Structure 1
């Protein structure tokens, strides 16, 4: 019996995609459109469409009665939570660890530099034909705290290295030691915040990190500190953040917000000291080649019956 591998990138555009017909599989292309390419019940490997509305992409999971693997093209998998309960036991969920490291780390650094060096003000000055000279903060000699030290957090630190930061502290779910030094657990965050000039959030959204950056967290940040969020909007309590930035005590650069997309008229749009980008951490020219390499590798492993990379969970 032949089973289907659903890809959200066109198979004929993927060089080196392993031949699967001899192993009893067929490739199907579906990127979240209204019509399915085949019967979802025959799908065994599902590549979750990237940057597509979840309404269809998640709902189809309940019809995938033969499913064995879900491969996302995003680093996070929180958006899949509503559909996992409909799956039978034994389905492996794999994320796109490594695909977005370069892009997201670039944006984290860009947001940090733009905020510190007042680039938004310069753009507004250019629009108004105003020469806004002055003395502005530098990233050099700043202490940076990275909250969420997975592959993206490590890539952010890679890009901080040439900027002469005074110190980089790292936080992950569990404490450990790396070649670069100590990685603190989440419980250490309160003791690290008062010394951080820049706090960069790159943690996945979990029950433990949802609302992590609340009023207490923000109150522990030092005066004049910058909060940079390239994680998920719900990691930050929006009302608590608004209360702090409105006073001018801290500033923020946000690639993600809660709610998202940020609706017209929301106070975050015009809050003082806030720079917003529209969740574009991963959507760059670096995405496609890395996504292709991941899919080719994962499918080759799947067809050969080998362990898959980036396993997040197996349904029970």
Structure 2
């Protein structure tokens, strides 16, 4: 019986894959109904297709009876953890830490600068051939609160530093001290919000962070503050955000929404003071070379029976 590895990137395009497994290409296809490339029972490593709908990503799970590793190409693994009961026990679930930091941090900074400096208004004025000059806030001298200080949060701070921000305050699930300073626990977030001019969300979606940005969270934000979300849509309570945006008290820049994709006619499209990008934090020219390096490293480790990187959890008999 062969040991198959399912890859969402054609294997001939990835240099350095270790010998041993049979590499098969499967990304779900354009309509998500692409036939499986081989017997799912012979797949030992399943690399989850990137930028595909949730049903496509989880479609093979129940059939992967011999799988030992599930590797996502996203930092978040909530798509897969939502179907843990479909996965056989003993499977290592790994995320793509190291792949998206550069691209997502770039977009977080882009959204922050664009929203503060009024770029959406400039675009609308250009389309109408109007020369519309105005005074806009600068990122310089602002207090920035980064909620979710993992690898992406740290990369965001890397890019904030040259812009002469007054202070970066860091929040993560667990408190710690880094070379840059203190990382506060998530339980401190409400007390830290009133001092923040910009709040950037880069936290994973978990039971703890689902709906974290609710009416109370938003009410604690200072007048004129900007909320930037490059994490997951359900971290923010959409109805609570719409209510706060309608008051004109805060603004928002969102790469992710709830629901997602945001359907035509949804009130977020026309809400005042909101800039929306269509979940493009990860997909950029920076993605593919970093994804390929991760896959080569992980598969080399797998073939050599060495510890894998980025292991989030190992499934148990009850699918948890």
User: Is TM > 0.5 for Structure 1 vs Structure 2?
Assistant: yes
Equivalent residue for 1:26? 22
User: After TM superposition, what 4+ stretches of structure 1 lie above 2 angstroms from structure 2?
Assistant: none
Per the TM alignment, residue 19 of structure 1 is displaced from its structure 2 partner at its CA by: 1.4
- Could you tell me how far 1:81 is from its partner in structure 2? 2.4
* Mapped partners of 1:151, 1:40: distance in 2: 33
* 1:128-143 equivalences in 2 (<5 Å): 128-143=128-143
Unaligned runs of 5+ in 1: none
- TM-score, normalisation: structure 1: 0.98
Larger displacement relative to structure 2 (1-10 or 241-250): 1-10
Write the mapping of 1:33-72 to structure 2, written as runs, cut at 5 A: 33=29, 34-72=34-72
Q: Distance in 2 between matches of 1:57 and 1:241?
A: 29
- Equivalent residue pairs, number: 312
Higher mean alpha-carbon deviation, 34-43 vs 81-90, is at 81-90
What is aligned with 2:210? Answer: 210
Q: Is the 8 A contact 1:59 1:83 kept in 2?
A: no
C-alpha distance in 2 between matches for 1:119 and 1:93: 40
**Residue aligned with 1:138, SS:** coil
The equivalent residue for 1:271 is 271
Secondary structure (helix, strand or coil) at the match of 2:115 reads: helix
**Deviation per residue, 1:176-226 (Å, 9 max, x gap):** 000000000001101110000000000000000000000000000000000
Per the TM alignment, residue 18 of structure 1 is displaced from its structure 2 partner at its CA by 1.3
Q: Decide which moves more: 239-248 or 51-60.
A: 51-60
| Distance across 1 between alignment mates of 2:280 and 2:267 | 21
Counterpart of 2:107 in structure 1 is 107
SS of corresponding position for 1:85: helix
SS at match of 2:313: strand
Task: Give TM-score, length-normalised by structure 2.
Answer: 0.96
Supply the distance in 1 between the matched residues of 2:57 and 2:263 (Cα, whole angstroms): 23
Is 1:62–1:83's contact at 8 Å kept on the other side of the alignment? no
Q: Deviations over 1:8-57 (max 9, x none)?
A: 1111011111111xxxx211111113211100000011100001122133
Give the stretch that moved more between structures: 249-258 or 49-58: 49-58
Q: How many angstroms does 1:80 deviate by?
A: 1.1
Q: Distance in 1 between matches of 2:188 and 2:53?
A: 37
Partner of 1:275, secondary structure, is strand
C-alpha distance in 2 between matches for 1:100 and 1:266: 29
**Map of 1:285-304 to 2, 5 A cutoff?**
285-304=285-304
Structure 2 residue runs without a partner (length 5+): none
For 1:219-238, list aligned pairs within 5 A: 219-238=219-238
The CA RMSD measured in Å over matched residues stands at 0.7
